[in-house]
Structures are given as structure tokens and as C-alpha cells.
A and B are shown apart, each in its own frame.
Chain A
Amino acid sequence: MESMESTYRSPETPRGAGVGLRLRSWLARLSIRVYLPSIAAGLAKTMEWMVRPKATLEYPEVQRVSRKGYRGEHRLKKDDQGRPNCVACFMCATACPAECIEIVAMPAPWPDRDKVPVSFRIDMLKCIYCGMCEEACPCDAIELTPTYTRVATSRDEKVYDLVKLLSN
């Protein structure tokens, strides 16, 4: 059985040290040997933590306020006539590293627009919330909101479609 001395390395006394330094060094070694000063320091530290404000948030009642630029769930923006800004250019789907965006395009029913999405689906379970889609969008149509709390009871619910994304 190895001894405690070999387990706990004591501070070495510097060579040629004066009496004061030697004494301090001896005291330091002694305090390690008898544990008690260190234990007292540890107890003081835990007592300090006991009275400190807690890091935990009481989640459902208290909710963390997302910082600016937080990347949560997506939404599709609408123009002043309520039409999706999206032109179905597939830039977000192209940029997406998780390949979670699935778009089907169609010719626009409006004279001033060429192309609109007929279906726009994001699989939120595949999404890694990197924000590349937002970066890639040439029309400022897709955006990540600070929402991060939406729960679902089935996988299908987490595949967001055009209607859901427009109302998000």
C-alpha cells in the first residue's frame, strides 16, 4: 500500500532559503499533511455557493430571453400584400448542410412575380439551426426566429410546411 507522502507531493523548500521561507514552506507542507485547513477552505467555498443566487431558471414560469441573433425556428416572411417573399430559388436548400429544406416551385399567379413555392417544408428534426438558409436567401424571405420551445408529439408535426412557416 503506497503511503500518503508519495500520493500528495509537498511543496519543495527552495535551496538556500532563509529561515522565514523555510518556516513558511514547512507550514505549507504541514497544512497539506493534516488536511484540515484545506477542508476548511473547501467548506467555506461550498457555503459560499449555498447562499449564492442560483444559476437554474424556473423554466416554464421564467423563460430565458434570447439574445439578438439567436437561431431558433424558421419563419417565412410576407410582403405588404401578404404573399410569401420567397421566390423558390432553392438557395436555402442549396446552402443547407443538413439538407432539411424541401421546396416545390410553381409559376406565380401574380403578374409581377415569376416563381413562388407551392410547397416549402423544413424538417426541424434534421435542421441544425446553423442559419445558412438565412444567409443564402437573396430575398430576405427566410428568417430564424428566437422561438426555441415548440414541442411536438409526433415526427410529422416537426416537418413544418408553408402555412406553418408563414404563420411562425
Chain B
Amino acid sequence: MTPWLWLAAKIGFAFAYLVGAVPVLIMMERRISAFIQGRQGPNRVGPMGSLQPLADIIKFLTKEFVVPLRADRWLFVLSPLLVFVPPMLGFAVVPFGNQYGDELLQIANLDIGVLFSMSVLSLGVYGITLGGWASNNKYSLLGSLRASAQLISYELSLGLTILLAVMIAGTVDPVRIVQWQIEHGWNLFGGGSLWRLPLGLMGGLLMFICALAENNRLPFDLAECEAELVGGYHTEYSSMSFAMFFMGEYIAMVVMSGLITTLYLGGWHFPGITDPTDHSWVGALLSIGVFTAKVYVLLFTYVWVRWTLPRFKYNQLMDLGWKVFLPIALFNLAAMAIVGVILEG
């Protein structure tokens, strides 16, 4: 096989992997929320209600696409795409499996690796901000302003926690980060060193919390806070354009989970299940399965947290981001530097 065909195959797989996760997530979200509330949830369409997302999609497709009067038509149509595409790009550097033959199961093995995904993920804020602005609606605008402030604030802490993982592993290449974890242990548990254990735990937890905020998930979904802002930045969006926002949010969740898995949870490897030296197709499939399992455990936690915690107030959100998470992340990083230099040479 030529490299181009390989690349096309991997891109196709990644696209299907991300878009295919959306209906699964919709179903998870609806059934788990129902279970937590003592209900059954949708269970009538298809076996166990599994075709419910299909019904939702048909509903979205058949709805009217409304562009508000005096909205910025061009940006209004563009912004859902801006939300939809960047998370997909971020997945390019995530190694979703071991390797098959000589081919890494990663779309692009960039030198800057993790930094690339950080930079493209932060583009998502443009889509949200422009969508709110283009709607020509004060609720949308307030929602998008909140979203942009929130994303920028939490991106700091998120970046610092990513940096922590990079420092533990000593590389920005995600493939080598995974490799390091295979050799030393998960970054979440400090990569095999007792000194780094608290730092790793703290960093992993912090990264997950910041990921919640980055993805506008409860308890940090102030951008679409129904009680105050009708629907937030997507108030004016309907039919497929709303569905794009919706899907973009879920895809961002999958990508973020993939990142966390790679940086802190040992990537595609699980001792006893995958063998890093097995480059056959069986080993490749097993590694993809382990990666998927880890990602979905995280996604389940996303949903679980959403239906457990109430929404923060905006001032609390900002307090938490700037006065708590940022100092903790900075302290973590400094401590890691000290531990790395002094204690472990």
C-alpha cells in the first residue's frame, strides 16, 4: 500500500470514529440521564431505543433552516462549521492504536504533536463567538462572550496540565508519550515515581475538569445557560445548523477524551491485553479497542458529571479558573520541575 492510501484510510477511519461517536453519545446522554432520574429514557425506537438518534437526525433534517432577519448571513452559516471542524483536526495527532506493520495508527506524526492539537482545539472558540455575533441577538451574543472568556481562561490551566504530562514523559510527541507510559506507567500515577504520584493525580484531575470547561459541559455550560440566555450562542440556530453545533460539541468531547487518554491514561495500551511488540492486525485491533474503551469511560464520566452537578455561577467559574486552577497548575508545573531536576536528576 502506498503512503497516500494509508493516510486516506486512516483519515476515513478517524472521521467515521468521531462522527459515529455522536449517535452513541446522544443515546448515552439520554439513557444515563433517565436512569439517574429514575426514568427509562427513550426505549421505543428500535431495539432498546437504539434507533432514537436516527429519529433525532430525521427530525433535524426535516426542520426549517431559519436565518434571522438582519443576521450576518455569511458568518451565520459559517460558524457551525468552525465549531465542527477544529476538534476533528485535533484528532490528527492522537495515536488511536499501536502500529500495523510499519504504519503508526496515527494520522500525522508531527514533531510538535501535542502542541498542534492544543492550537487547533482553541480555534473552536471562533465558531462559538462568531455564531453568537452573527445571530444579531443579545442572548446569543452574551452566550458567545461568556463562552470565549471561559474558553480562554481554562485554556491556560489546560495547557499547563498538558505541559505537565509532557514534562513527565519528556517529549511532545504523543506516540512517544504513550511509549514512555508503557515503559514506566501511567502519567496519572506519576509515571512510576512515587514523588510524581501526587503531581500526576492532580494534573490528570485538573485536565479532566478543564476539559469539561473547554467543552462547555456542565457544570461549566454557561454559554448556553437556558435559564438566563434562552439557548446561549445557538439560540437562533435551527435544523442542521444547530445539529452541527451539537455534533461539534460531542466530537470535541471525544477528541478531548482521546487526548486525556493519550497524555495521562497510557494511550492504547493496557497491560495484559495489548502487546506493544505485536504489530499484526490482531494487535492493532486490540490496541484500538483498548483506546476506545478508555475514551468511553471518560465520556461516561462526562455524562455522569453533567447529570450530577448543578451549573456554576459566572463569577464562581471565573474565580475557579483564575484563582484556583491556574495557581494549582502553576504549582504543579514548578513542583514537577523541582522534582525532575533535584530528586530525579
User: Footprint of B on A, CB under 8 Å?
Assistant: 1-4, 7, 39, 42-43, 45-47, 49-52, 54-56, 58
Contact = CB atoms under 8 A, between A and B. Distances in A.
Nearest to B319: A4
B38 A55 contact: yes
A42 B316 CA distance: 19
Given A43-B304, A50-B36, 10 more contacts: A1-B315, A2-B315, A3-B319, A7-B313, A46-B304, A47-B304, A49-B38, A52-B38, A54-B35, A54-B40
Contacts of B37: 49
Nearest to A55: B38
Given A42-B309, A46-B308, A54 B318 contact: no
5 contacts: A4-B319, A42-B308, A43-B305, A49-B36, A55-B39
A49 B319 CA distance: 32
Interface string B18-40: 00000000000000100111111
B307 interface: yes
Contacts of B304: 43, 46-47
A59 B302 CA distance: 31
A123 B318 CA distance: 59
Nearest to A42: B308
A56 B316 contact: no
Contact of B318 (A1, A42, A58): A1
Contacts of B309: 39, 42
A61 B35 CA distance: 20
B307 A46 contact: yes
Contacts of B32: 50
Contacts of A43: 304-305, 308
A146 B300 CA distance: 43
Contacts of A47: 304
B40 A46 contact: no
Contacts of B316: 4, 7
B2 to A, nearest CB: 48
Interface in B27-71: 32, 35-40
Given A3-B319, A4-B316, A46 B36 contact: yes
Contacts, number: 41
A49 B318 contact: no
A168 B304 CA distance: 48
Nearest to A51: B35
Q: Which 5 pairs between the two chains have the least Cβ-Cβ distance?
A: A1-B315, A46-B308, A55-B38, A50-B35, A56-B40
Interface string B291-320: 000000000000011011100010110110
A2 B316 CA distance: 9
Contacts of A46: 36, 304, 307-308
A4 B307 CA distance: 23
B218 to A, nearest CB: 12
Contact of B38 (A1, A54, A58): A54
Contacts of B39: 54-56
A10 to B, nearest CB: 16
A161 B258 CA distance: 67
A42 B309 CA distance: 7
Contacts of A7: 313, 316
A76 to B, nearest CB: 38
Contact of A58 (B40, B305, B307): B40
Max chain B Cβ within 10 angstroms of own Cβ: one of A47, A50, A55: A50
A47 B36 CA distance: 7
Contacts of B40: 54, 56, 58
A4 B37 CA distance: 29
Interface in B2-23: none
Interface string B313-333: 101101100000000000000
Contacts of A39: 308-309
Contacts of B305: 43
A24 to B, nearest CB: 24
Contacts of A52: 38
A42 B304 CA distance: 10
Contacts of A42: 308-309
